[in-house]
Amino acid sequence: MSSLTVDVLEAVLTSSADPVLLMRTDRTDWPVELVNPAFANLAGGVEVDGPFALVCEALFGRDSALEISEAIRSGEQTRLPVECAGRECVLTLVPLSGEDDARYAAVYVRDVAGTPPATDDAALSQALLKAKRRIRDLDRDDPVTGLLNERAFRDVLEHDWAVAAREHSSLALVRFELADFSAYIDVFGRHASDSCLRRVGRAIRRCLRRASDVVARLDDDSFVVLSHAADEEGVRSFAARIAAAVRELGLHHPRSRRDRFVTVDFEVEVRAANGDGPPLSTVLDRDSEN
């Protein structure tokens, strides 16, 4: 079969009744390249011509946007249950290759409740999707906080560093460490300490600025955030806001040497992925050796 022109492909997508979106995945901001009328109608008043991470967050919520972002980084075809405009839907993500090593992904959204199969079949499909997601999450999530674990975070970092290298852009890591947390454990015990870690993790996650930002728990008393910001001063301001948000939780810490509440220290590392220096993952390697 002869190769199809872009005009023909656009005409096919435009005539599709299913919402379809096409984006670039070999760029750090995942720009939207094409949206058919059905997807624009699904989005309502949401702008769909910007970075896909922002479109995704506006349509499906932050939690689903973070999950979809992880699926994009994996480079695998994925089906995820999402909620859009109060309706239960299934989002299908299909990776595609273009000319000159360009990488794309097609996003299809289907309303589960409005599809022809019987209700029992639709419910079973949703249950299977959720079960698959839970199995995957058990392998990638920290069991205490529900955030990514270190192994999964390293996978994300490796992927994003490779993309940044192609674009000659920069990435930033922010390491947060709970101050005097061993003393907190001595006072309150492991159960209360796990509750503290969960609340701190949620506070950090709420402060993330875009769906492409990623937070993970590294060990007993530390968290790490990956940001696509390149301005070190801006990243430091971002980290300071997170530290303030943790302090504002008001978690009493009677043995803290600096405050009467739980606080975090932070370190910022911004590196250009231009091939001249070591990858950003060496920061994690350095921390694990200390």
pLDDT along the chain (290 residues), means of 10: 58 79 84 88 81 84 80 83 83 83 86 54 53 54 90 88 85 95 94 94 90 87 90 94 96 92 95 81 70
Q: What is the pLDDT of residue 115?
A: 47
CATH, domain range 6-139: 3.30.450.20
Question: Sheet of 87-97: strands edge to edge?
Answer: 32-35, 20-24, 103-111, 87-97, 78-84
Q: What is the pLDDT of residue 51?
A: 82
How many angstroms separate the Cα of 287 from the Cα of each of 25, 139, 222, 267, 280?
A: 30, 23, 11, 11, 12
Distance CA 111, CA 207 (A): 31
CB 242 within 8 A of CB 203: yes
Instruction: Classify domain 150-289 at the CATH topology level.
Output: Alpha-Beta Plaits (3.30.70)
Q: What is the pLDDT of residue 217?
A: 94
Q: What is the pLDDT of residue 276?
A: 73
Tell me the domain boundaries of the chain. Answer: 6-139, 150-289
Q: What is the pLDDT of residue 33?
A: 87
